[in-house]
Amino acid sequence: MAHYAKIEDEIVTSVIVAEQDFIDTQEGQWVQTSYNTTGGQHLLGGTPLRKNYAGLGYIYDSTRDAFIPAQPYPSWVLNEDTCLWDCPVALPVDDSKRYTWNEDTTSWVEVT
């Protein structure tokens, strides 16, 4: 069994677990995805598949052969290696505080 994403107009509309024989009988475009792939890395050391596990609403970019999540903010930029979105300012990591992104100031703001 494997995971497959149904693609409609480049958008993931469904993700199921099925055998290839079942997928072959289905209408529309179905693309295999790997539950163990994120950011172009296979979490168990195997071969990564299509950069990221497909999620509902993700874009399937056939040119990159990658599943890409929705852009969280207009200022964030697609990382071509991971097909994930990078923020323009690094998240503070030297403390144990919680932060949220403020798109108006393009900065991290401490959650109080």
Question: Where are the domains positioned within the chain?
Answer: 1-70, 72-112
pTM of the model: 0.90
User: According to the model, what pLDDT value does residue 95 have?
Assistant: 85
| Alpha helices in the chain, H assignment, sequence order | 20-23
Residues 6 or more apart in contact with residue 97 via CB below 8 angstroms: 110, 111
**10-residue block means of pLDDT along the chain (112 residues)?**
97 98 98 97 96 98 98 98 96 88 96 91
CA pair distance 41, 64, nearest whole angstrom: 15
